[in-house]
Amino acid sequence: MTQPFLPLTARSREESHRAATPLELFFDLCFVVAVAQAGAELVHAVAEGHAGEGLGYYVLVFFAIWWAWMNFTWFASAYDNDDVLYRVVTLVQIAGVLILSAGVSRAFQEHDFLVVFLGYLVMRLAMASQWLRAAHHAGSDAERTMCRRYAGGVIACQIGWVALLLAPEEARPWIFVVMALLELAVPMYAEKDLNTQWHPHHIAERYGLFTIIVLGESIAAATVAVKSGITENDALGEVLPIAAGGLLIVFAAWWIYFVVPAHDRLAETGKGFLWGYGHYVIFASAAAIGAGIEISVEQAVGEAHISTLAASSAVTIPTAVFLLSVWVLHARYFKVGIAQQLVLPVSSLVILVCTFAGHWAVPAAGAVAAATVAVGVTLTRRNPATRH
């Protein structure tokens, strides 16, 4: 039975059988609502010929979603005590992301970030309260200082984000860059003397689960687009190759991400900043793949006012970025020999070349992605030392 109030103390990194909780899974599902909204608006912007502007807003909104999710994930790995108060504060954070989701369309279409900011503010202030609670129950002065640094840094950054609302539109990209860097600096500053007790297996599982959810959202978005293309435009011949290629891409992305044991890498390094931060690129590109498939379908049935090249690049570029970022973050550490090391970088380049294959770009990219998996499996079988 859940207790109303328990000490919010650090958990051990040596816990066995540490797994994601039902609350964390529910948390992820609510966050993917915001991811879906950002992806849908990206599709709309690119389809209307505003790819540069849409991509800029996508990067900004996705950062807010990812950063709030990531901060909760690492905090929960170190401090989750699952009492009533912890659950209630987590519910507040969920409410915050739903508020943010409600403001995504206005941010993209009217360039009004007030609702997005309010949702982000709710999430981040709730997170700061968790850090203050952890500071109250800290077992040492060093841990108390770390928790207070986190809380203070989070609150200070929220004050800085107000500038995004007040500044002229042309200054907003620069404000975003500065504030994003300050947000990223908070954990490094807070943990400069003492690291939180996050659990490598738990963190790897949490990131893996969110990757699955984001890829699943890509499948869902693509399915809706294909259904629309068939029922409204009677264009089965045009959308079927795109659907097949998109499915191969998403399945290959899943395979490539999970073929390496991320928790082993985390346990070896003992520090997860680069790995954790780098997943912004993995998550954002994974979500963009689904948006790209949807754009390609709309272009194929004549509903998107863009060229075939532009529609193709909406799929091939995020796919290539996903493969390359997975290789950079952890896959390369488990590759033996030059052949294995080159598989993902070369495949990324070939997928980019597929952009110029016209209407067959997505099927071609899907074939390359599938071939990447096949080559990787073959090379692994020839080198037993790389099996895990």
What tens-digit pLDDT sequence spans the chain (388 residues)? 667 888 999 998 888 888 899 999 999 999 989 999 999 999 999 988 888 899 999 999 999 999 999 999 999 999 999 899 999 999 999 999 999 999 999 999 999 999 999 999 999 999 999 999 999 999 899 999 999 999 999 999 999 999 888 888 888 899 999 999 999 999 999 999 998 989 988 999 999 999 999 998 888 877 877 787 777 767 777 888 998 999 999 999 999 999 877 777 776 655 678 888 999 999 999 999 999 999 998 888 888 889 999 999 999 999 999 999 999 988 888 778 888 889 999 999 999 999 999 889 999 999 999 999 999 888 877 665 554 4
First to last CA, the chain: 38
Distinct helix (H) and strand (E) counts, the chain: 13, 0
Measured CA distances, 62 to 66, 165, 208, 356, 365 (Å): 6, 17, 18, 28, 25
DSSP, collapsed to helix, strand or coil, labels residue 307 as: coil
Q: Which pTM does this prediction carry?
A: 0.91
Residues whose CB is less than 8 angstroms from the CB of residue 232 and which lie 6 or more positions away in sequence, other chains included: 301
The DSSP letter of residue 302 is: T
Its sign, for the CA torsion 268, 20, 96, 84, is negative
What are the boundaries of each domain within the chain? 22-190, 200-386
Residue 27's Cβ-count burial label (10 Å; 0-12, 13-18, 19+) is buried
Amino acid making up residue 135: A
Helix axes 262-269, 200-233, angle to 10 degrees: 140
